[in-house]
């Protein structure tokens, strides 16, 4: 049996340098892209290549799995905000009316957002409800990652698949953001498109809660305000609930409780239409059902990466 020849030092160094350079570029390009007028397509390609480069540079390990997901989320964060570089151009493609029409069908002639807000307005304890639901919304910024951290610590063998599915939900949702920019209900109401009042209750709670810091926090986390379809808030919380349900009963029940509360909050707070939530649920179903169909492509990419990994670490 012939022994596999070791790659030359020159080839090994070239592969490692290329992979390391790709990772450096994934952080440098987003910072420099406006100054250097780097096209959005090149920016997306650069940040999307970083997880692949990391897979080449380091052998498989728990740390590498975590770093791969972190780089994937960095790529999502950069790509998610790119369409808002040119607000005027994005607004020319903005869709506002189709979710209003579909939600009016769901709400029997009225938007569910407006129905919920009017039903609870003035009720005893509504201010507490507003705060609880707003904090439920804010907690989303850490909830998907906490769920994966729990899986990593307690059910390590399930982490790669759970992280892969979560990343796919984020990434495919971002593709829809690019393809079909859609306004949220609070924005449509501000423009007079809904025909009925939809308040943005999160802002009503946020300003007195955070005071002067609120505006800076909002600017930092606001991102692209016209990325409402699908609701990745709901989609990722749903994916987290499914992943945790596969891992443990108690964790799953808690995650389902959070996902259900968040879904209600997103509609009541005026952040999303019910249509957005349904699209988010459909996205999760597509990712999970489509995973076996993508398996041949995934195996092919993994095979190529493993060959480069052997060269880089040979």
Q: What is the pLDDT of residues 117-149, one digit of tens each?
A: 999 998 999 999 999 999 999 999 999 999 999
**Residue 222: per-residue pLDDT:** 66
3-state secondary structure of 183: coil
Task: Find where tokens 């040979």 sit.
Answer: 314
Token pair listed for 289: 């059902």
Put residue 305 in one of left, alpha, beta given phi > 0 → left and psi -120 to 50 → alpha. alpha
Q: What's this model's pTM, rounded to 2 decimal places?
A: 0.90
CA–CA gap between residue 180 and residue 176 (Å, rounded) = 6
Q: Are 26 and 49 in contact (CB under 8 A)?
A: yes
3-state secondary structure of 123: coil
Q: Are 231 and 83 in contact (CB under 8 A)?
A: no
**Residue 247: per-residue pLDDT:** 84
What stretches of 214-254 adopt beta strand conformation (E)? Answer: none
State which residues of the chain have pLDDT below 50: 1
Q: Are 149 and 211 in contact (CB under 8 A)?
A: no
**Residue 227: per-residue pLDDT:** 84
- Evaluate the omega torsion of the peptide bond into residue 230 and state whether it is cis, within 30 degrees of 0: yes
In angstroms, how far apart are the furthest CA atoms of the chain? 81
**Residue 299: per-residue pLDDT:** 87
**Residue 308: per-residue pLDDT:** 86
Q: Are 267 and 273 in contact (CB under 8 A)?
A: yes
Q: Are 124 and 211 in contact (CB under 8 A)?
A: no
3-state secondary structure of 95: strand
Instruction: Tell me the pLDDT of the chain averaged across its residues.
Output: 91
CA–CA gap between residue 170 and residue 163 (Å, rounded) = 11
**Residue 2: per-residue pLDDT:** 54
- Angstrom CA distances, 164 to 148, 169, 170, 248, 299, stand at 11, 9, 10, 19, 14
* pLDDT tens digits along 51-83: 999 999 998 889 999 999 999 999 999 998 888
């Amino acid at each position: 049996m012939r022994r596999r020849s070791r790659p030359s030092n020159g080839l090994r160094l070239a592969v490692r340098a290329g992979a390391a350079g790709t990772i450096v570029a994934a952080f440098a390009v987003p910072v420099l892209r406006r100054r250097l007028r780097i096209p959005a397509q090149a920016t997306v390609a650069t940040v999307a290549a970083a997880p692949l480069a990391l897979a080449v540079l380091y052998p498989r390990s728990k740390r590498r799995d975590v770093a791969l997901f972190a780089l994937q989320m960095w790529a999502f964060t950069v790509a998610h905000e790119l369409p808002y570089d040119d607000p005027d151009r994005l607004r020319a493609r903005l869709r506002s009316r189709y979710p209003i029409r579909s939600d009016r069908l769901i709400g029997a002639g009225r938007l569910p957002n407006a129905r919920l807000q009017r039903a609870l307005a003035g009720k005893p304890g509504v201010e507490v409800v507003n705060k609880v639901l707003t904090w439920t919304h804010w907690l989303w910024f850490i909830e998907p990652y906490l769920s994966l951290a729990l899986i990593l610590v307690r059910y390590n063998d399930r982490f790669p698949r759970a992280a892969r599915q979560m990343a796919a939900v984020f990434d495919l949702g971002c593709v829809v953001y690019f393809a079909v920019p859609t306004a949220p209900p609070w924005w449509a109401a501000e423009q007079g498109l809904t025909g009925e009042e939809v308040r943005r209750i999160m802002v009503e709670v946020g300003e007195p809660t955070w005071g002067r810091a609120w505006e800076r926090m909002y600017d930092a986390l606001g991102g692209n305000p016209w990325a409402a379809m699908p609701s990745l808030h709901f989609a990722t919380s749903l994916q987290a609930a499914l992943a945790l349900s596969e891992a443990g009963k108690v964790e799953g029940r808690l995650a389902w409780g959070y996902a259900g509360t968040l879904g209600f909050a997103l509609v009541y707070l005026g952040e999303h239409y019910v249509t957005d939530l349904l699209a988010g649920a459909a996205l999760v179903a597509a990712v999970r059902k489509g995973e076996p169909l993508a398996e041949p492509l995934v195996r092919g990419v993994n095979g190529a990466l493993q060959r480069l990994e052997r060269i880089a670490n040979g």
